[in-house]
Amino acid sequence: MLVKAFFTRKDNPALIVPCLFNPKELSVEKSNQFAEVNIPGLSSPIYQFVRGNARSVTMDLFFDTYEEGIDVRIFTDRITGWDAGSMFSKLPDAAKGLMDIDSDLHAPPICLFIWGAFIFQCIIERVTKRFTMFLPEGIPVRATLSVTLKEYREVEVQVKEIDLHSADLTKRWVVTQGDSLWSIAAKEYGNPVDWRLIAEANRIDNPRILKPGKELVIPVKE
């Protein structure tokens, strides 16, 4: 059986925000963004990779304090915050939830969601909080948080991965006197007909006009 899932701050791992019950399921989404490049004469566009999108994790977290007879917001506010510092907050004085803006960071903190061997570095992007049971005096004692986490990865980590695994094969060509898109395509692709790839990548409207010294991007031919 997995241990109880919890949140913590990356810059303060001693801070533990527990989930009273483990989620029943996790949904993990990952997508890539491609741009359509329309090439005259082709029946359909080609697709050029633009960037990857961060993974996102969605789940429902269940909180129940009915048997203890205490306000469930003691636990949910540690995640959502929102009312920190107000009379409605169930957080200790000066404490903030994981979605509140940190005074030093000027932004919500980077968090870790840890459930057994699953460790997800993230920002808490969105939470919908639903109270579903109340004591007679109106104190909420049961709540469900629908949580969306967005993966956070440092720039330097991503740059290292590009260097190691995804070398950029895009070439560049500095135009000299007498060059044409046709001659460049013939040298780079072995076929002068492929000049349109270079024109499209460099947004050249008139392929007959090439200024010496201009640097052209030579895209990878699929």
The domains of the chain are located at: 6-163, 171-218
Nearest to 141 by CA among 62, 66, 60: 66
Contact by Cβ (8 Å): 105, 35: no
Angle at 45 between CA 39 and CA 50, to 5 degrees: 100
Q: What is the pLDDT of residues 24-61, one digit of tens each?
A: 999 999 999 988 888 777 788 888 888 888 899 999 99
With tokens 């440092």, the residue in question is 154
β-pair partners for 124: 149
With tokens 């009379």, the residue in question is 87
For 6-163, give the CATH class. mainly beta
pTM over 0.75: no
Nearest to 27 by CA among 203, 149, 157: 149
Is the pLDDT at 134 greater than 70? The verdict is yes
Lowest mean pLDDT among 17-21, 69-73, 189-193: 189-193
Copy the structure tokens of residue 74: 């003691």
**Which CATH code for domain 171-218?**
3.10.350.10
